[in-house]
Amino acid sequence: MTRKIKVEELTQSPIERQEIELVERKGIGHPDSLADGLAEEISRALCQEYQDRFGRVLHHNTDKIQLVAGRSSPAFGGGEVIQPIYILLTGRATRVCGDKEIPVDTIAIRTARKHLAKALINLDLNHQVILDCKIGMGSADLCNIFDRDALALPSANDTSFGVGYGPLSETERIVFSTEQSLLDLREKFPAIGEDIKVMGLREGDAISLTVACAMVGRYIDDIDHYVQIEEDIVQELTDRASAMTDRQVEIQMNVGDNVEAGSVYLTVTGTSAEMGDDGAVGRGNRSNGLITPCRPMSLEATSGKNPINHVGKLYNLISTLIANQVAEEVDGIEEVHVKILSQIGKPIDQPHLASVQAIIKEGRSLSSVEGRAMEIVDDWLDNIPKVQQMIFKGELPTY
């Protein structure tokens, strides 16, 4: 069956030539990223369990996890958590197949503890967090759609769309890299917590980054030590970001601090979830790891959705893969936007529409890029099982 693929010229200025660009990234310890990470890891763990027991992935979605902040009393040299962080593991999963019952709750809680230990190295899992699992059964109609996949091609579980674009702009790369750099700097500056947010603004050729980073009190002696650590971190980040661009870069960190009053971004565990900041799946980074209001985006939460037939996951990831390959391989394209739309119950490799919108370089024509772009779309839709395997193995980040 011939797929409905539309390639058209996009008549707008590429992001790099626009005057204003906004880019945001939330780090792994941000409450929203914690919820995303827990959702995705639990989904992957269930996929593995289902495959081990039954030879295929069964219906599940764990994309409704909620995090409720605790209360803490941070202090230089220490501090304490007064009320633990509360995390509600919710969603839907197949609990019984034939005469076998799957220990969904046990798997979810074990996986959640493992992820939290990796994401928040200063969190005491025994005393500073409460895990509550309320994962229910899937609805009969969606389970029925899912179960058809055992006999034929996967059927879309929803009428929805996925969005991708490429290539990343210079500002987007710098914002992403800055959050990663902070994690790399933890060995040198152990006071760096994992709850990080980087907000990037480019005005013409001037890039300014506003960095929020939860600092861990046990590694800081006093307010003067805090200020010195912050200055050293900003210098390191500025050097790294400046090496990635010829544009001017300015970085500010924890701008909400009032040093004179002794009010600074201090935590016990390295996350604001210990005191006042809740989290939920889908409120953070999009599937490419960024929040980009100047680019096309889907509001679908990618993390925690099943990787077999949930288009809110698959189509966002595939759209990004397509966009990156088109931008890299198709000569004559400066920027590309990809949107894929499904219809519930229809084969997932036969979208209702796959749209490729390309900003074409001066001197080139739509006809010179259209054929190869369509081939790339077709190839990825032919290889949905490959994408599923990449998700199973954790090779495609979802947040």
Mean pLDDT of successive 10-residue segments in the chain (399 residues)?
A: 93 97 98 98 97 93 97 97 98 92 97 98 98 83 54 84 98 98 97 98 98 98 98 98 98 97 97 96 97 96 96 97 98 97 96 98 94 97 94 94
Tens of pLDDT, residues 16-61: 999 999 999 999 999 999 999 999 999 999 999 999 999 999 999 9
Q: Is 380 exposed, middle or buried (0-12, 13-18, 19+ CB in 10 A)?
A: buried
pLDDT of residue 140: 45
Which pLDDT score is estimated for 152?
Answer: 63
Q: What pairing do the DSSP bridges indicate for beta strands 96-97 and 100-101?
A: antiparallel
Token pair for 18: 């626009």
Are the CB atoms for 292 and 281 separated by under 8 Å? no
Cα–Cα dist 58/62, whole Å: 13
Rounded CA-CA distance 57/149 in Å is 10
pLDDT of residue 344: 96
For residue 137, what pLDDT is reported? 86
Q: What is the CATH number of the domain that holds 184?
A: 3.30.300.340
Determine, yes or no, domain membership for 225. yes
- Taking every pair of Cα atoms in the chain, the longest distance, rounded to a whole number of angstroms, is 69
The parent domain of residue 243 ranges over 169-273
Q: What sign for the dihedral angle of Cα 315, 133, 42, 104?
A: negative
Pick from 4, 23, 72: which is nearest to 289 by CA? Answer: 23
For tokens 């395997």, what's the residue? 389
190 within a domain of the structure (yes/no): yes
- Residue 279: phi, psi to the nearest 5? -145, 155
- 97 located within any domain: no
**For 346, which DSSP code?**
S
Q: 189, 229, 197: which is closest to 213 by C-alpha?
A: 197
Which tokens sit at 6? 């539309």
> What's the pLDDT at 361?
95
Q: d(Cα 367, Cα 356) in Å, to the nearest integer?
A: 13
Residue 330 in any domain: the answer is: no
- Nearest alpha carbon to residue 15 among 183, 158, 168: 168
Length of the chain: 399
Ramachandran bin of 310, using left for φ above 0, alpha for ψ from -120 to 50, beta for the remaining angles: beta
Exposed/middle/buried for residue 283 (C-beta within 10 Å: 0-12, 13-18, 19+): middle
Packing angle between helix 311-329 and helix 367-382, nearest 10 degrees? 140
CA 137 to chain centre: 26
Residue 231: inside a domain: yes
What is the pTM assigned to this prediction? 0.94
Contact of 105 with 133, CB cutoff 8 Å? yes
Q: Which residue has the tokens 């894929």?
A: 340
Q: Give the total number of structural domains in the chain.
A: 1
For the chain, how big is the Rg over CA atoms in Å? Answer: 23
| Residue 171 per-residue DSSP state | H
Per-residue pLDDT of 128-146, as tens digits, reads 999 999 999 865 455 555 5
Whether the bond between 167 and the residue before it is cis, its omega within 30 degrees of 0, is: yes
Specify the DSSP class assigned to residue 269.
S
Neighbours of 162 (CB within 10 A): 26
Phi, psi of 83 (to 5 degrees): -130, 125
Whether 111 is in a domain gets the answer: no
Cα–Cα distance, 194 to 119 (Å, whole number): 7
399 neighbors 303 (Cβ within 8 angstroms): yes
Q: Does some domain include residue 195?
A: yes
Assigned domain for 316 exists:
no
Residue 149 DSSP SS3:
helix
